[in-house]
Structure 1
């Protein structure tokens, strides 16, 4: 039982990768996941669609392999790749983004 309580106590301390997207109209989207696992394709539910002109990807995670890549897609369900990069902050020409992947 003590081991279970210990694991529950440290769970919030596990760091997660973070992906922040800034839009040309001032909106910001923040995505994250615990651990280094890929999150598969994720749709971004903004209306109107987010017109991304800056991205910041922080892949660092504790105790697991860090993801190395993020991808931004024009369409939902990760259709029509628009941008791909690794960890860091990137300014880009504004582009409409409706989904993303981290792996």
Structure 2
């Protein structure tokens, strides 16, 4: 999981060290459905998140749910659980 210097998390907007989150988890890339419906660029697409947000997303949803239902930043932001987490995370250091 690559990390970068302090920037803004794409969910909570905190300025901290970030990690790359694949919008379609890498575990799903080898499955026939994803190979058929997504090109390589779409499979590699992702967003930069702080560790707190990244861990929370994976705690809330399994890989298949993330891949099929929350495979974009806009879709992640529609999740009530993610919205509640963002409100809490914004208050953290």
Larger relative strand fraction: 1
Q: TM-score, normalised by structure 2?
A: 0.27
Q: TM-score, normalised by structure 1?
A: 0.26
Larger relative helix fraction: 2
- Bigger Cα Rg: 1
